[in-house]
Structure 1
Amino acid sequence: MAALNMGRSVAVIGSGAMGAGIAQVAAVAGYTVRLYDTRPEAVDKAIAGIASALDKLVARERMSAADCTAAIARLHAASTLDGVRDAGMVVEAIVEDLAAKRGLFAQLEDIVGDDCVLATNTSSISVTAIAAGLRLPGRVAGMHFFNPVPLMALCEVVSGMATDPAVAQLVFDTAAAWGKNPVHARSTPGFIVNRLARPFYAEGWRLLSEQAADAATIDAVMREAGGFRMGPFELMDLIGHDVNFSVTQSVFNAYFGDPRFTPSVLQQEMVNAGFLGRKAGRGCYQYGEQAAVPAAQAEAPQPKPEYVSYTIEQGAAHAVGGAVVDALAGRLRAAGIEIAQRKMPETIRHAGAHDDAPAFHCNGAAVYLTDGRSATQRARDNHHPDTVLFDLALDYGSARRIAVACSDQCAPSAYNAVVGLLQAAGFTVTRLDDVPGMAVMRTVAMLANEAADAVSQGVCSADAADIAMQKGVNYPRGPLAWADAIGVEQIVRVLANLAASYGEDRYRVSPLLRRKHASGGRFHG
């Protein structure tokens, strides 16, 4: 099905930031737009704001003056709901309240034609529930934009139980015609983004509560190693802890207390204290002219070790996590560090050690990619007290920072040799306390786990999950594409070890991940 016919007008109900943004993108795309609000002055303000925003685009040479004039001319104020009678599509962007949305659509059913699509911009309310009780519930679909609408590329097209597939496709095609990257989703709590993003915040809070590091250090690791645009705490400060905590509570309650979505007691305390983030002048960070910017933890300079070896399994093309470890080995070699390569049987014979591969060795330390166990547990399992773990990075070749953790049994000299090795490769080295799964790895594993569950449960496709997280919250890589890159087996191992370490259902492995692991399959390609 094609997009809404250009000869039909689009009505937008609600002229706040979201409504005004939707009106702007529709008008710029060539549609006549009728904007209605219960406060007429709000409509006038919205249209004036849109005109100002478009004028700025002209000034920056990102829009022609003629296109700007034409788009503004397509914007019209509707003084009453009756003024949207001829619309081919109505998009509501009113208060996030089920009764209010149901009431509005019930009114609209008596005004617009039967062929008019009713779209809701809800971010959290069931589309099924909004449409329930209407004479024609099949014409209702979610059209969830992200703020600010003109800048954010994603639009979640959400189908309720009664939504006509042809209506969902028309909304999808119309969003594409408006310059967006639409994705289909089934109406379930959180849709795609607000569900799949929960682990990004939840694992940050878990790390902070277990004193793995302070907020500034965790944020720095997630940015400078994980490649995320913002770390979890600075992002929650920007969103507002009251808003973020409310969404988490909503998803948790909607899934009947599934422990995967358990809210953080620490965040609840932040909200109780009024430390809501930037808007309050204080959140995880202090704000204001006199506020000091906290520094992330970094290890003091250490000398480069004299000898480094890289152990791989005998005859194995790629062990679990091997591709990731190979990437770090490439960074070390690019920095001019000579690395001797050894095969697994030689390592096993060496000093009676019970090592596993792939691993680096220097000055007695065995250095592994985290697999979800703590370094202390891995040292015990391998009978190698001088065990150091390193965290996942998006791209070891360009990452500025790398996180490490050492076992409680590890000798300081062995640990310092590892720090010196990584510093010689140009990394800022950050030490985390020895928590299972470290920071980037456990977060990415949980993001992939949640995305796999969403695909398994028919909420969205694998492509939609990855597009949504990249375009909706600016993740550097889609969670399922990341699972493919790391290796599904590595993700399954990390999650299984986290579950064993914590004894919590929170870290249960998605059946789809286990299925991909068993078949040797991938999510893409």
Structure 2
Amino acid sequence: MTALDRTSTVAVVGTGTMGQGIAQVALLAGHRVLLHDAAPGRAQVAADAVAGRLDRLVAKGRLGATDLKEALARLVPVESTPDLAGAALVVEAVVEDLAVKQALFAELEAVVGDDCLLATNTSSLPVTAVAGALRLPGRLVGLHFFNPAPLLPLVEVVAGAATGAAAVTTAYDTAAAWGKTPVRCTDTPGFVVNRIARPFYAEALRVYEERVADPATIDAVLRECGGFAMGPFELMDLIGQDVNEAVTRSVWEAFFHDPKFTPSLAQRRLVESGRLGRKTGRGWFGYSPDSGGARGARDGGGVSAPEFPPHTAEPAVGPPSIVLRGDLGPARALAGLFGESGIEVREEPADGPGAIMLPGGVPLRLADGLPMPAPGVRFDLALDYRTATRVAVAPCAGVHAGAVDHAVGLFQALGKDVSVIAEVPGLIVARTVAMLVDLATDAVARQVASARDIDTAMRQGVSYPLGPLEWGELISAAYVRDLLDALHRDSPTGRYAPCRELRRRADAAGGVISS
């Protein structure tokens, strides 16, 4: 390993929440840590805040009293840039402004040694541009920690166009020695997580804008059917609507207005209204000032009102028997689950898309991006149909109420809550996952990061239940390609056009599937 030795001094410039968190991580890894901020006296305030957090770790039994004493002796607030001269690594965590960062690193380069590693914690600016004003740009690397830095394991190690291989290796190994999970990536807009995660928010916002379902229901479907830890609307409220929208807009602009990253008008209006989420007490949902808990708003307005639960269908009587016609593709596990629940299942071959035939000959089909021919009902993709606790279904126009009841009752017989939503191509989970898979596949093809690092980043950085590439293999590249092709035909803007690498993988795996 080429990690920095623990005897090396680490400096952190910028003493906000992120700077304090990075300083705490380096401190507990055994380094002497210098804290610096341009504002007089702020470094001392930050050092006191770090000390307070370490005191709480001692109180909780997570840090020994002797370790605390030794750590505090290594924490040194300094008031001037020349005081950082002996640092082996300087991590910058100042405001997200390119000119400010460039000026800071030019100032640092004048006082630290030529062998000092320089790192920027930027989440949105090009590392290449930050290093552009340096005499030795090869020693600057991106070290993007996730907030809160002491708790979240992921660190994106970003190589700018001029960053040397040795700098990347040292930064990667040092992050690993600090107990973090580093991933390597190139200097691309959004790096890994903020680039690939955009559809998780964008597709939910689009479904909402099309009035398919309310925010609480969309969140519940993605959590309880898709397996995500949080729904996109509650997560946007937690992050801050202004912050989330700014990242989306930054990535969109950096990709020259690529339609795959188009921001949401609905979110723009929320930001303009000042409803920024938890920090303002109102966002997509309303928040109680005493508990901080969501009280909800079915119309997305975030009003202070009793919590609106997700739309859940009333109990319905399912059919005693069904016919499984053809291959259900990613939903084929349902055949065994229906049998276990006591429903009589008869299987028949079919040349076309697989379907669950309800009484009266009404087909119930997995979301595939295509409009449902009348009469028919669609159901959504689940991460795991056995463990999912909710399934979304959407009847096509003109389908009779009895068929909808049969579809609802069928999934209720498996112990699932059912959300009946308006008809929309790709429903909710399927289109979201397909877009995540597509962006991740494209990122691998463009050598943004390895497949392993992308999956690791999305699991560790935003707590996805599966890495998107792993998910793509599970449901098949052909299913994803065909779903996106159908969405692209329905909305031919380029937003849903599958990337070339996804098409190649789908073709290599055997072409069109029936699902």
Q: Distance in 2 between matches of 1:10 and 1:506?
A: 44
- 1:368-395 per-residue CA deviation (whole Å, 9 max, x = no partner) reads 11111132xxx2xxxxx33111101111
Per the TM alignment, residue 94 of structure 1 is displaced from its structure 2 partner at its CA by 0.6
Describe the SS at the equivalent of 2:344.
Answer: coil
- Higher mean alpha-carbon deviation, 467-476 vs 150-159, is at 467-476
| Alpha-carbon distance in structure 2 between the residues aligned to 1:283 and 1:77 | 38
Q: Which residue of 2 aligns with 1:372?
A: 369
Give 1:309's match in structure 2, choosing from 310, 318, 323: 323
- Per the normalisation by structure 2, the TM-score is 0.93
- Counterpart check, 1:139 vs 2:139: yes
Q: 1:358 Cα deviation (Å)?
A: 5.0
The correspondence for 2:426, drawn from 437, 441, 459, is 437
| Alignment match, 1:337 | 343
Q: How does 1:180-219 map to 2 (within 5 A)?
A: 180-219=180-219
Superposition pairs of residues 376-525 of structure 1, within 5 angstroms: 379=373, 385-520=374-509
Contact 1:14 1:92 in 2 (8 A): yes
Letter in 2 for 1:452: T
Deviation at 1:40, TM superposition (A): 4.2
Q: Cα offset for 1:228?
A: 1.0
1:352 maps to none
Summarize the Cα distance change of 1:434–1:29 in structure 2 as closer, same or farther, 3 Å threshold: same
Structure 1 letter corresponding to 2:430: M
Which residue type is aligned with residue 368 of structure 1? R
Aligned to 2:95: 95
Q: Which amino acid aligns with 1:436?
A: P
Question: Which residue is equivalent to 1:299?
Answer: 313
Give the Cα separation in 2 of the matches to 1:108 and 1:11: 11
Note if contact 2:322-2:356 (Cα within 8 Å) is conserved in structure 1.
no
Q: In structure 1, how many angstroms separate the alpha carbons of the residues matched to 2:95 and 2:261?
A: 25
Single out whichever of 67-76 and 148-157 deviates more from structure 2: 67-76
**Cα offset, 1:230, TM superposition:** 1.2
* Paired amino acid for 1:170: T
CA contact (8 A) 2:203 2:431 kept: yes
- Equivalent residue runs for 1:38-53 within 5 Å: 38-53=38-53
Query: How far off its partner does 1:418 sit?
Result: 1.1
Change (3 A) 1:44 1:403: same
The separation in 2 between residues aligned to 1:136 and 1:388, in whole angstroms, is 62
Partners of 2:318 and 2:406 within 8 A in 1: yes
Aligned length: 497
> How much has 1:341 moved relative to structure 2?
2.1
**Unpaired segments ≥5 residues, structure 1:** 313-318, 346-354, 380-384
Q: Tell me if structure 2 keeps the 8 A contact 1:219–1:234.
A: yes
Q: Distance in 2 between matches of 1:426 and 1:362?
A: 21
Secondary structure in 2 aligned to 1:507?
Answer: coil
Q: Distance in 2 between matches of 1:228 and 1:357?
A: 27
Q: How far apart are 1:237 and its partner, in Å?
A: 1.1
Partners of 1:199 and 1:310 lie apart in 2 by 32
Paired AA for residue 242 in structure 1 = D
How high is the TM-score relative to the length of structure 1? 0.92
Q: Secondary structure at the match of 1:171?
A: helix
Q: Name the amino acid aligned to 2:272.
A: N
Cα deviation digits, residues 207-243 of structure 1 (max 9, x gap) = 0011110111111111111111111111111111111
Matches of 1:126 and 1:356, distance apart in 2: 45
Identity of aligned residues (%): 48
Cross-structure match for 1:253? 253
> What is residue 350 of structure 1 aligned with on the other side?
none
3-state SS of paired residue (2:333)? helix
Q: Quote how far apart the aligned CAs of 1:360 are.
A: 4.5
Aligned to 1:351: none
3-state SS of the aligned residue for 1:505? coil
CA displacement 1:322-369 (0-9 Å, x = unmatched):
2x2222223323333332222227xxxxxxxxx532545444221111
**Secondary structure of 1:506's match?**
coil
Alignment-derived partner of residue 349 in structure 1: none
- Find the aligned partners of 1:122 and 1:509 in 2 and give their Cα distance: 30
Is the 8 Å Cα contact of residues 362 and 418 (structure 1) preserved in structure 2?
A: no
- Work out whether residues 245 and 268 of structure 1, in 8 Å CA contact, stay in contact via their aligned partners in 2: yes
Query: Is the 1:365–1:418 contact (alpha carbons within 8 Å) kept by the matching residues of 2?
Result: no
Deviations for 1:253-278, whole angstroms, at most 9, x for unmatched residues? 11111111111111111111112112
Q: What do the CA deviations read for 1:122-163 (whole angstroms, capped 9, x no partner)? A: 001111001112110000000000100001111000011000
Runs of 4+ residues deviating >6 angstroms: none
Residue 264 (structure 1) aligns with: 264
**Cα displacement (A) at 1:487:** 0.9
Equivalent residues of 2:219, 2:233 under 8 A apart = yes
Secondary structure (helix, strand or coil) at the match of 1:274 reads coil
Whether contact under 8 Å (1:12, 1:33) holds in the other structure is yes
The CA deviation string for residues 487-525 of structure 1, in whole angstroms up to 9 with x for no partner, is: 11111111111101111200110111111112229xxxx
CA contact (8 A) 1:10 1:31 kept: yes
After superposition, the Cα gap between the structure-2 partners of 1:358 and 1:72, relative to the gap in structure 1 and judged at 3 Å, is: farther
Choose 32-41 or 359-368, whichever is displaced more: 359-368
Provide, for residues 467-492 of structure 1, a one-character-per-residue CA deviation record: whole Å limited to 9, x for no partner: 11111111111111111111111111
CA distance in structure 2 between the partners assigned to 1:38 and 1:279 by the alignment: 26
Task: Give the C-alpha shift of residue 247 in structure 1.
Answer: 1.2
